Structure 1
Amino acid sequence: MSQELLNIENLHTKVEDKEILKGLNLNIKKGEIHVIMGPNGAGKSTLANTLMSHPKYFITEGNVKFEGEVINDLKADEKAKRGIFLSFQYPEEVPGVTVENFLRTAKGAVTGKYVGMVKFKKTLKDNMEILKINETYANRYLNVGFSGGEKKKNEILQMAILEPKLSILDETDSGLDVDAIRVVSEGVKVLSDKEKSILIITHHNKILEYLKPDYVHILVDGKIVKTGGIELASEIEENGFESFK
């Protein structure tokens, strides 16, 4: 039987004295893919930022448990070391730091172990092939001059290298064309397994044509108001989010 990985209980979050999450509950077991959909302003990105301890987001009530441990007060780097990864909606450009050096340093920081250069180069090359990323990108500065699709693929590459237990993908499909969405989706499928879980936050259902999530959740006004299967995405496509408000 699958083990519980993430348990969110009655989560309330404030941003600049405004309550955004208003009693959110969510349980994710190992090996599951969950999708959260909702209208703009519902609290989707607030949830992602809260889970990764963004300093502007404050938990005022409720608990977030990861592998049974309450992690409300942990810092972002402490959560990363426990196996939580967040891909950014708008990845930053980092001049002067190559993709390879960034990923190798990040791997060492998360694992606390020395990462040998030769072995790492092989791992990086293998994962770049899976994600259809030209290996010359390893020597380019992180996200500098990258297209939107290339930046998003690079986020999935980070996920592949860091091997987190829980990956939170915030609007990974935003602004991507159909081909890029397909490549990103295929990468996610390849990288997921029975021990790793994925939480995808989106307000499009295009990515669901390629991924087969275990659960789809509808987030409206700071709460998950309905949970079901992929059929919920079809319902949204036909009727929008009005019927869930």
Structure 2
Amino acid sequence: MSELLRIEDLSAAAEDKELLHGVSLEVSEGETHVVMGHNGAGKSTLGSVIMGSPEYKVTGGKLIFNGEDITALGADKRARLGIFLSFQNPIEIPGITLSDFLRNALEQVTGKHLKLWDFKKKLAAAMELLDMDSSYADRDLNVGFSGGEKKKAEILQLLILEPKLAILDETDSGLDVDAVKTVSKGIEEYKKRTNGALIVITHNTKILEALTVDKTHILSAGKIVSEGGAELVNEVIENGFEQFAGRE
């Protein structure tokens, strides 16, 4: 498998407070990586920095994606290159329907005009897979959606855009067992359709049950303090994150 993302000694700050300290990791095509840690460990910050969120400033190191240095690129350009981030708390966007948002996003990423009928067929199939009521396509994005429907809408974007790298930030947070199964089904479908890579950011383990984990990274105080394979997830399940305290 060829390398897709390489993070080299990455440090980043927000409002002059450094939140990431010398993070390095490599993700190859098709791999599933898990980033775990307690609340406030820097997990969501890492995802946002990879996506290029303007809220954060890279203060050291660099990011290489598909052989290109993207450290200075904005989020829109990173999205066009094939990077996707599902938000922990998806925002509501009044005045833009879910369907229009997704069609516009797909046209922006691909640079191609999409025939409305072809797009609607693609959207309907993806919504059916996620057990989403078809009426949601014509509702304003996330407005009045339940927590579970917002998370499904994020996975719907994943299926429509089919990015090279998908970063899933606490996608299972606040979901009941049935919703987690549905979201997991959507993620599995994405993996079947593409050779895309996943970075799953979580402090829980429910969503990992349906995934084949290649590498696990434990983050604490903005640093990677332990790395391993799927066995490291089991270690966290059994003993929690306290065992990694003091390794910063």
TM-score above 0.5: yes
Q: How does 1:123-202 map to 2 (within 5 A)?
A: 123-193=122-192, 195-202=195-202
Where structure 1 has 5 or more consecutive residues not aligned to the other structure, the ranges are none
Q: Is the contact made by 1:208 and 1:230 (CA closer than 8 Å) also made in structure 2?
A: no
Q: Tell me what 1:226 maps to.
A: 226
Does residue 1:207 correspond to 2:222, yes or no? Answer: no
Where structure 2 has 5 or more consecutive residues not aligned to the other structure, the ranges are none
Count of residue correspondences:
244
Q: Sequence identity of aligned pairs in percent?
A: 55
The range that moved more, 235-244 or 104-113, is: 235-244
1:56 CA drift (Å): 2.0
Look up the SS of the partner of 2:72 in the other structure: coil
Does residue 1:29 correspond to 2:52, yes or no? Answer: no
The superposition leaves residues 58-79 of structure 1 with CA deviations (integer Å, 9 ceiling, x where unpaired) of 1111110001111011011000
Q: Tell me what 1:92 maps to.
A: 91
Q: Is the contact made by 1:103 and 1:161 (CA closer than 8 Å) also made in structure 2?
A: yes
**2:128 counterpart letter in structure 1:** E
Look up the SS of the partner of 1:81 in the other structure: helix
Ranges of 4+ aligned residues in structure 1 off by more than 3 Å: none
Q: Tell me what 1:69 maps to.
A: 68
The superposition leaves residues 136-188 of structure 1 with CA deviations (integer Å, 9 ceiling, x where unpaired) of 21111111111101000100001111111001111111111111111111110
1-structure distance, mates of 2:55, 2:157: 24
Q: Tell me what 2:106 maps to.
A: 107
1-structure distance, mates of 2:181, 2:230: 17
1-structure distance, mates of 2:179, 2:185: 10
1-structure distance, mates of 2:196, 2:234: 26
1:212 CA drift (Å): 2.1
Look up the SS of the partner of 1:8 in the other structure: strand
2-structure distance, mates of 1:109, 1:63: 25
Look up the SS of the partner of 2:89 in the other structure: coil
Q: Is the contact made by 1:25 and 1:223 (CA closer than 8 Å) also made in structure 2?
A: no
2-structure distance, mates of 1:211, 1:145: 30
2-structure distance, mates of 1:59, 1:163: 27
2-structure distance, mates of 1:240, 1:128: 36
**2:141 counterpart letter in structure 1:** L
**1:198 counterpart letter in structure 2:** L
1-structure distance, mates of 2:21, 2:37: 15
The superposition leaves residues 62-112 of structure 1 with CA deviations (integer Å, 9 ceiling, x where unpaired) of 110001111011011000000001111111111221111111111111111
- Give the aligned CA root-mean-square deviation in angstroms: 1.1
1-structure distance, mates of 2:147, 2:228: 31
2-structure distance, mates of 1:97, 1:61: 37
1:241 CA drift (Å): 0.9
1-structure distance, mates of 2:230, 2:132: 29
1-structure distance, mates of 2:55, 2:154: 23
2-structure distance, mates of 1:222, 1:94: 31
**1:164 counterpart letter in structure 2:** P
**2:207 counterpart letter in structure 1:** I
Look up the SS of the partner of 2:227 in the other structure: strand
